[in-house]
Structure 1
Amino acid sequence: MAGGILAAKDGRGSVIVDQGAARGTSGTTPATAPGTGGATGLRERKKERTREALVDAALELFSRKGYDATTIDEIVAAVDVSRRTFFRYFPGKEEVALARASEVERSLVAAVGARPVDEAPVVALRRATASVMAAIAGDPKLGSTEAWVRTRRLIEGNPTLMAASLRHAVETERLMTAEIARRHGVDPHRDLRPALTVGCFNAIVRVAMDDWTERGQFDADGIAATIDEAWTAMSGLVGSGWLATGWEPDSDR
């Protein structure tokens, strides 16, 4: 994902948005000559920096004070913008708290869609997940793995955010199911395989993420290894007594 968090903190802990020119992917400063669209690009980059600064400030306040105790006024004061500016980007505290998680979910759906069409569903899901996990560590816009874990813990510790996160997860699962169905030319309303595949995938990743968070291995290699371990464990379950039997309807009922 393009863009980055160009913000720093002053001695009081306030977030200062960097108003300097953003860098392109080549490391050079984009031109702003008339007629090239540079002015529009600069405005978009400044908007993106403001959004990222709001997310960073909100997550820090939520971590330090708690979600319920933090006000929107405190968030905007930390970034030195108005409440009106905040509401241009987010409808409320819930959306800014879940911004990082939502970015990851959108990235995952897009990554699945970008996989080669001849890949098996599980292969596409595994490789898409690996690419997104690497991006979390390597792309400043998605934040560091430590910040992402902090967001997970914030969500898990707050019933309101947990409920909202579950709603987002259901929607993401539907989108991924539709993407898998599209890739393989089946109707997800008539064919249960895409939904079952995605549901199994999400269960494996959720268990792996919980384990990764508990281990404290906050790096891309750590999470990739943990997810691989979970997939291997699931493969073993399928061939063992745990999941080898019991799939057919129970005639003794």
Structure 2
Amino acid sequence: MQTLRERKKRRTRDALLRAAVELFTSRGYEATTVDAIAEAVDVSQRTFFRYFAGKEEAALGLVELTVERFVQAVRERPAHEPPLEALRQAVLDGWSSINEVVESVVPVELYLRMYRVIESTPVLLAAYLRRSTEVEETLAAVIAEREGLDVDADPRPRLAVAVFSGVMRVTERQWVAQEEGEFSLAGIRALTSRYLDQVGPALLGDWREA
């Protein structure tokens, strides 16, 4: 159980994160200053830096919440599931239950709009891709542990995660480019499922026969 002090710190961090996302999605990342975020919550710039290293970390804060949830979900998948199936089910279940993670901080609509800000802002996209590489290493270690393998001796965990991550990246880019009406949780979940289902045919099938 969290102490009163811990709850207050959590509320302050959530308020700063919510203000940052609201400003990033309305004004743009570059036009938003740390001072503006702090002012929106009525705290000092010093207080902001107690919780975030800078704007970049605040901009990726919501994504980090969902990434942590996803990695944990992979760890908890049934042991009998093959690696790619465990990854697939974890991400699909994650899209279905994302409200539980995000809604306590911001409306899901803002979370979705923040994805577009990340994709359209070079410095954020670079940071996002850098973080994704770190997550791939974590996932490879989780998969190796599930399968009883040495991640540094057997390439299969990293290969499986690389394939999965590649599909997810293509899915995200396609989803962000869609029209507003299709830009939804249901849309990203359906697209994720469809693209993951195409991995086998794409890698092993003869495209010229289609």
Global fold match (TM > 0.5): yes
Contact 1:136 1:142 in 2 (8 A): no
Rounded to whole Å, the distance in 1 between the matches of 2:190 and 2:134 is 27
How far the C-alpha of 1:126 sits from its partner, in A, is: 0.9
What residue is the counterpart of 1:126 in the other structure? 88
Contact 2:15–2:105 at 8 Å: present in 1 too?
A: no
Distance of 1:229 and 1:165 partners within structure 2: 24
How far the C-alpha of 1:99 sits from its partner, in A, is: 0.5
1:181: how far off?
0.5
TM-score, normalised with respect to structure 1: 0.75
Name the larger-Rg structure: 1
Distance 1:55 1:70, change over 3 A: same
**Residue in structure 1 matched with residue 55 of structure 2 by the alignment:** 93
Alpha carbons 2:87, 2:164 under 8 Å: kept: yes
Unpaired segments ≥5 residues, structure 1: 1-36, 245-253
Instruction: Compute the RMSD of aligned alpha carbons.
Output: 2.1
Percent identity reads 42
Q: What's 1:84 paired with?
A: 46
Does structure 1 residue 108 correspond to structure 2 residue 73? no
Paired letter, 2:205: S
Matches of 2:208 and 2:167, distance apart in 1: 15
- Cα deviations across residues 188-240 of structure 1 (Å, max 9, x unaligned)? 11111101100111111222222223334344333221111102222322442
Could you give the per-residue CA deviations for residues 108-134 of structure 1, whole angstroms, max 9, x where no partner exists? Answer: 111111112221101110111012212
Question: What CA deviation, in whole Å up to 9, does each residue of 1:69-113 have, x standing for no partner?
Answer: 221111111001112211111111111111011112221111111
- Which residue is 2:191 aligned to? 226
TM-score, normalised relative to structure 2: 0.89
The code of the aligned residue for 2:164 comes to F
Gapped runs of 5+ residues in structure 2?
Answer: none
Q: How many residues align?
A: 206
